[in-house]
């Protein structure tokens, strides 16, 4: 190794597993069982550190989470260390934890007493002889990104090979990577909720702290207090109407009316009457005078939702009203002047519609003065969990259900799903889950089948990776037990704390031949 504090193991996961002894494999198996049980993520990770301590002698274990924006690492879960509610953080490159987070390389210290970079920010080793301790620290990597750091002490005399100790710690880090990733998202959103409670957002109804949503907030702040026409682009269900409301409520027109028109819901024959009104008797069925939506929005804002669905004839009439800022109701010779702020929204590609002749170019340029793009939910990262928490709280209160949390399994599915229906689909999903939940948490069984059948490829790939590690652990442990019991499956089952039936099933599934471990009897070579 070219640096004694950064051993270069150069091993793939399969090679790492091959050097583990029985106790290490048993530890990995125990950790896999902990992670397979549905429970609070923090409790799971605490149990993992407990297993490392009791089985491997790795004391004072710590799991730190990485802030995606700053790269800082903050201590989240610890064993054998009293944090006492303190927030302990390491900047990138600060101390051993900060260096591992920054370089993405493991570090090992054979003699902690001689290590100047060790900060002991927790004070856990204040009264210990550091020269008797070795320190191990590895990055926790999920989908090629460092999401956390795992570290622990070990009595130096018990360490025979630093590379081997790091390989074991790296195997644990690989097993807990997804859980740490989700835990980091949970903590990030808890912090964001606190920030949202303290900050004044330009769009109080839009929940999110992701970069795409922050860009939307910035555009709202820039355009709100002007009279500029805005065109909001975005898929169905992304919350375009919330952007329109935010612009209106942050403008000088906020005391005036906000009139919303769903252009897709109005028949072409009634669009002119709906927008501009009519006099009594203007057409068959016009038994009384009607005030149009533009006139209703005077001194306020009109929101033309799904404007791309207007017919060409309706587009001409709308263009004329926008250009002249006045109109005549049907059947009237009177001209009405209006002072209205126009905000439009569409889920269509209007530029493409122009090339096909479906939408007028002059109307498009009149509307698209200040475009705002509302990102789909799949581009908003951790906002998914933030929104899910919000809707769970909302519907638990409305429906009188005792929902307090969303299980880690549900979070995994939410993060892996494509959300074609965007925020609206997520909200409907949470409302359904709150109704179906029998306890105080939303579980996987409460989700609609469509979420299970349409997961994105990354989720399936990750499950396969974890499954491969667990299967390799099981194979090694069973083969070791069969070797110790000379191929006796009943005794092997007892050694592993399971049943003969399960061992027989695993032996067949994993392709293990128990006969190769049987001891031959001199008097009976076939025994």
The C-alpha atoms of residue 386 and residue 393 are separated, in whole angstroms, by 11
The structure tokens listed for 168 are: 């074991």
Using a cut of 0.85, tell me whether the model's pTM lies above it.
Answer: no
Q: Which residue has the tokens 């009188």?
A: 400
pLDDT at 470: 59
Distances (CA, A) of 31 to 24, 65, 116, 150, 293: 11, 19, 33, 14, 63
pLDDT at 163: 84
Distances (CA, A) of 151 to 112, 136, 139: 13, 5, 9
Cα angle, residue 482 at apex, residues 477 and 485 outer, rounded to 5°: 125
Task: Average pLDDT across each block of 10 residues of the chain; the chain has 527 residues. List them in order.
Answer: 41 43 81 80 88 87 84 85 73 87 88 76 75 89 88 86 86 89 77 52 71 89 91 94 93 92 85 79 67 89 94 88 83 82 95 95 95 92 84 92 84 84 94 92 87 57 49 69 86 79 76 72 38
| CB proximity list for 511: less than 8 A, separation 6 or greater | none
Kindly report, residue by residue over 73-91, the tens digit of the pLDDT: 888 888 887 766 667 888 8
| CB proximity list for 498: less than 8 A, separation 6 or greater | none
pLDDT at 395: 93
The C-alpha atoms of residue 47 and residue 79 are separated, in whole angstroms, by 9
pLDDT at 281: 59
- 8 A C-beta contact, residue 526 and residue 519: no
- Could you give all domains of the chain from N- to C-terminal order, each with its CATH number? 13-191 (3.30.450.40), 211-374 (3.40.50.300), 378-453 (1.10.8.60), 457-517 (1.10.10)
- For residue 504, with 0-12 CB atoms within 10 Å meaning exposed, 13-18 middle and 19 or more buried, which class applies? middle
- 8 A C-beta contact, residue 254 and residue 304: no
pLDDT at 527: 33
């Amino acid at each position: 190794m070219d640096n004694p504090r950064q051993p270069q193991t150069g091993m793939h996961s399969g090679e790492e597993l091959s050097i583990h002894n029985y106790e290490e494999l048993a530890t990995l198996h125990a950790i896999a069982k902990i992670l397979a049980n549905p429970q609070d993520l923090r409790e799971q990770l605490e149990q993992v550190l407990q297993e490392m301590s009791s089985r491997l002698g790795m004391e004072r274990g710590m799991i730190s989470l990485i802030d995606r924006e700053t790269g800082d690492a903050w201590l989240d879960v610890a064993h054998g260390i009293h944090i006492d509610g303190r927030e302990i953080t390491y900047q990138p490159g600060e101390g051993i934890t900060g260096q591992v987070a920054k370089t993405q390389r493991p570090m090992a210290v054979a003699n902690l007493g001689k290590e100047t970079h060790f900060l002991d920010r927790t004070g856990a080793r204040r009264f210990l002889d550091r020269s008797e301790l070795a320190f191990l620290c590895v990055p926790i990597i999920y989908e090629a990104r460092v999401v956390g750091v795992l570290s622990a002490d070990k009595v130096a005399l018990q360490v025979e090979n630093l590379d081997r100790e790091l390989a074991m710690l790296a195997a644990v880090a690989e097993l807990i990577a997804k859980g740490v990733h989700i835990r980091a998202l949970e903590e990030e959103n808890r912090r964001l909720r606190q920030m949202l409670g303290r900050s004044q957002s330009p769009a109080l109804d839009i929940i999110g702290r992701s970069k795409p949503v922050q860009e939307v907030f910035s555009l709202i702040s820039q355009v709100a207090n002007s009279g500029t026409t805005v065109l909001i682009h975005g898929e169905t269900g992304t919350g375009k109407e919330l952007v329109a409301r935010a612009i209106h409520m942050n403008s000088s027109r906020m005391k005036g009316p906000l009139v919303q028109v769903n252009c897709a819901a109005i028949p072409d024959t009634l669009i002119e009457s709906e927008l501009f009104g009519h006099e009594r008797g203007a057409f068959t069925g016009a038994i009384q005078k009607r005030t149009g939506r533009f006139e209703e929005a005077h001194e306020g804002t009109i929101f033309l939702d799904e404007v791309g669905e207007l017919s060409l004839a309706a587009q001409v009439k709308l263009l004329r009203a926008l250009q002249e800022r006045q109109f005549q109701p049907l059947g009237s010779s009177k001209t009405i002047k209006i002072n209205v702020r126009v905000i439009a929204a569409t889920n269509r590609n209007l530029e493409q519609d122009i090339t096909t002749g479906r939408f007028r170019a002059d109307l498009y340029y009149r509307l698209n003065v200040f475009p705002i793009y509302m990102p789909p939910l799949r581009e908003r990262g951790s906002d998914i969990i933030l929104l899910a928490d919000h809707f769970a709280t909302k519907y638990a209160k409305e429906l009188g259900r005792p929902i307090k949390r969303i299980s880690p399994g549900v979070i995994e599915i939410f993060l892996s799903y494509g959300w074609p229906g965007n925020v609206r689909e997520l909200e409907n999903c949470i409302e359904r889950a709150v109704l179906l939940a029998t306890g105080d948490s939303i579980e996987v069984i409460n989700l609609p089948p469509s979420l299970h059948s349409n997961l994105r490829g990354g989720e399936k790939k990750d499950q396969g990776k974890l499954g491969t590690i667990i299967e390799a652990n099981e194979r090694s442990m069973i083969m070791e037990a069969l070797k110790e019991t000379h191929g006796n499956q009943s005794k092997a089952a007892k050694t592993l704390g399971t049943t003969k039936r399960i061992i027989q099933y695993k032996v067949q599934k994993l392709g293990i031949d128990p006969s190769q471990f049987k001891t031959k009897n001199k008097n009976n070579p076939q025994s």
